[in-house]
Structures are given as structure tokens and as C-alpha cells.
Structure 1
């Protein structure tokens, strides 16, 4: 309620009725990406089943505790079909520990590739977990506060069942409603990104660092902008190794560097001679790190090097 009172004081000027806040009820990928492309089978999403499977290229929602085979995404080998039955959370944990994550399906082309690997490996024709899940009413910064301040009768999900996002009604004691994302309202931002530098324990390989971050925080850090690079630079000055792991990996066969989210590297801060395709993809698997000295440029290193690393908390 202290946060609510501060927010109301900052925006309640008598002219604004509703304000977007960062609470939403939505499907998202295990990697943290929003689900923009959807391919649900007819008749799905009428119940309260919160994890997704694929069958014949179409998606179904099933109880997350069902035991199904699943597909992991691996940066170096591509899609990996795991012919073991696990519930969705155990499948997610397995993929993160042994590969990268449960597979994301972000467009029709990726859907066809996942459909094909299921067809090639799943002769029984059973449902197969993908990385899509729904966690009701969570904050966009992934914080886990359970505070809610709904107006009486809210959330009601509307007549069309598409009210998945929360607003504050400033003229009703600041209580909350759910609305469709198609409405246009003012909104309130705040800066919640926190870096957690791991400098005080045994140095880890890139895969070990990734496992540590996903189990204890959110992920190895991605650096998408000059602002984020400045934050990283302030942190790595305290490192005990000459470089510090980032969430940056080389998808060698496509001659691409990617962040763990699957995003391509748009903002670039490579040291000279780095950021190019290795001459031999099989010779050594390369990952991205940031130098802890000098001008803190990015460098490419074999993933078996043991370094400090940085996790993102939100």
C-alpha cells in the first residue's frame, strides 16, 4: 500500500482516470519472451490448464503436472527431442541444465521445424511439451510480490475473455481493473533492472554460470544498449578474472552471435578481432565475455574457460 499511495500522489492530477501498471495474465515462453505468435488448436484455452504441448503442429493446453516427452533448444545442435516423460517444470529444469531451455516457437517457420522433429521422433503421436506456459497475474519485472488491490468484482476477464492486463482506476481509491491490451491509457515506468555479479565463489565455465543464474536469479546478463553496457562496466571493475561471462553465444553454423533470449546482437561492443565466426565450428565452442579492464569490450572465448559472471535478477 505504501507503493500504491506513492503512485497515486505522483500521477493523480484529476485529469487521468486509468493508468497501466505492470501486472498481466499472459502466456509466455520459458526463455522469458512474450508469446506473440500463437497456433492453438480449435477449442483450446477454455479451461485453466497452464502449460502447452504440440501435436500435429497445433498447440494444446494441458495440466502442467502431466508427464510428456519434450523438446529442448541447444545453441550448437539445434532442436533436441527428449524421449523421456516429465512434467513441464521438470522438463524445463532438464533443458536448462543440459541444453539451453525448452523450445520457443516464435513464428510459422519455427513451428514447422518443431512439428517435423516431433514427427521424426514421436511414433506414438503423443503430446509433446514446448516452452509455453501461463502464470496468472505476474509482474512484468518478474518480481514475486503477492500484493493485489482489485476493485470489487475484478478481475472479470470481460465478455470476450481477453482482459489480461491491469490498470489503476485513480478515481476509485486507486483500485485495480483488468482490461484488454487494445485500450490506450497513460502508464507508469520504474527502473528495476538489477545485476548480480558473482565474484566471490569458484569461477565457472559458461554453461555452469548459466545454470547458476537460471537457478538462483533469472539469466546470464544480456547487453542490448549503451545504457546496459555502462551498468556492466561499473560492475566488472571489481572482477577477479580478466573477463566476465555474458549471456552471449555463437550460433556458428549460421555465423551469428545471439543473446540467450534468442535475440540477435544489434548493439555491438566487440574488441577488435572478436565477434566473427570461428574458422572451425567444431574446434572450440565460443561464448561471449566482457573484459574487466581497459575499455571493457566484448571478447570471444572457449566456453570451458572459468570466469566470474553476471546474472540479471529482473
Structure 2
């Protein structure tokens, strides 16, 4: 694919998508607004072909950590009163998404919640509950939280049905492609929820603080992608 660079913007295309590298440095939020005004959105990277096209462009892309996208495992199967689906009883300084790897929730013996790593046992627990009961427990208010707390033995913690979708694309794409550097994403104390490509690492990705200012890549869908 040919790439033509100008002092302020570079453009690169392939079937289905056209990329625009913007040399002005902006925060992730500013970059997103700029892309949505002038193009379609921040760039979504679908595959290694896209990576190879953008390999010399170290910049913001449209992937971000949707840290507050919590939902209940049972949400599609039961009725919630207003506000019940939003009830939370987090422990102090939770959720912290340690090492960008905590997408599920456990309740501890004090009744407080922690976000925790979704090991494969969470799938086993969910499958068991759905086979033998209805689903992992939803906790809709403090009265229900107290009932669940009473079932947790001292020093123990158990799964509840709250989980979150993790990384999302700014344009709403459901692409599951990821190209992280080794040891990334690392979240760095909960401060890094936006994503940049890294020029010195063959275009691999790192999570960075969203308020840092950096060049960015916008994308447009081409006609072939819309057919």
C-alpha cells in the first residue's frame, strides 16, 4: 500500500479502511474528538496487515479499557428495578484492575467486593450455577449483599455474577485483534487505560495514561467496507 506523508497528516489505505496519521499531539480524548469531526474515529486495528501498514506510526489508536462497563451475568434473564443493576459495594481502592487483568468480581467475608482475575474457574462456576440453579448471584441492594455475606466463611471469598467487558474500540468495532508488547498491558497503578503503538517495538501496543499528549491515527471506512 502506498503511503503519502505531509507535514501535518499522513494517509495510508488498504481494502476496507483508510488511515490518517495526525502529527499534532493531543490527549486521547482530544484525538478522539478530532477524528470524529474530520474522519470516522480513532483507528481500529483488525489484523497484522493493518499493523504492517502502520508499523512506522507511533500514535494513539482507538482501543481503550472500558473500566466501568460492569454488568451482571444474569442481566438478560431477570428484571431489575431502577438502579438495582448499578448497585455496587466495592472495598476501598477497589476496583483497581491490577495489571489490567481483573474483569470479574468476588465478595469477601466483610461483604465488600474486589475485582479479581477471571481464572477459568469463573467459567466453571457460571456453568455450574446455570446447570443446577439459574446463574451466579446478582446483588441488587444492601439487603441482598448482607444475605450473600452471611454465606461467605471467615477468610474466604466467592464469585458473584458481576463482570466487565475489557478493552473496547472507540468506533464500536468488535474486533478481537490485539498486538501487545510483552508485559503489556500493565495498567501501572490503574492510570493507563488508553493505547498507543510503539515505534521501537515493531508497532506493538502499550497502555498509557490518556492525558498524555501524542500523535494519533484516525480511520475512515472505504466504500468496499460498507458494501
TM-score by length of 2: 0.44
- The higher relative CO (CA closer than 8 Å, separation ≥ 6) is in 2
